[in-house]
């Protein structure tokens, strides 16, 4: 079965709506300093 672009977008919307009914909070942990995001670690390519 091949989905069109609009069908794919609708499926994504449905999945987002379903998730938003019972969202799970993101738990941030900053214990390990080497995994922290710092201004020096951010690399953006344009």
Q: What is the pLDDT of residues 1-46, one digit of tens each?
A: 687 889 999 999 999 999 888 878 877 766 777 777 777 777 766 5
The whole-number pLDDT of residue 32 equals 72
Cα separation of 29 and 37, whole Å? 12
Q: Which domain holds residue 8?
A: 1-46
Specify the number of domains making up the chain: 1
pLDDT at 45: 65
Cα(15)–Cα(34) distance, integer angstroms: 34
pLDDT at 14: 94
Label residues 14-33 b or e (16+ Cβ within 10 Å = b).
eeeeeeeeeeeeeeeeeeee
Q: What distance in Å separates the CA atoms of residue 40 and residue 46, rounded to the nearest whole number?
A: 17
pTM over the 0.85 mark: no
As a whole number of angstroms, the distance between CA 36 and CA 41 comes to 9
């Amino acid at each position: 079965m091949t989905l069109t672009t609009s069908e794919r977008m609708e499926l994504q919307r449905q999945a987002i709506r379903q998730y938003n009914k019972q969202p799970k909070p993101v738990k941030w942990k900053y214990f390990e300093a080497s995994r922290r995001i710092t201004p020096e670690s951010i690399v953006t390519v344009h």
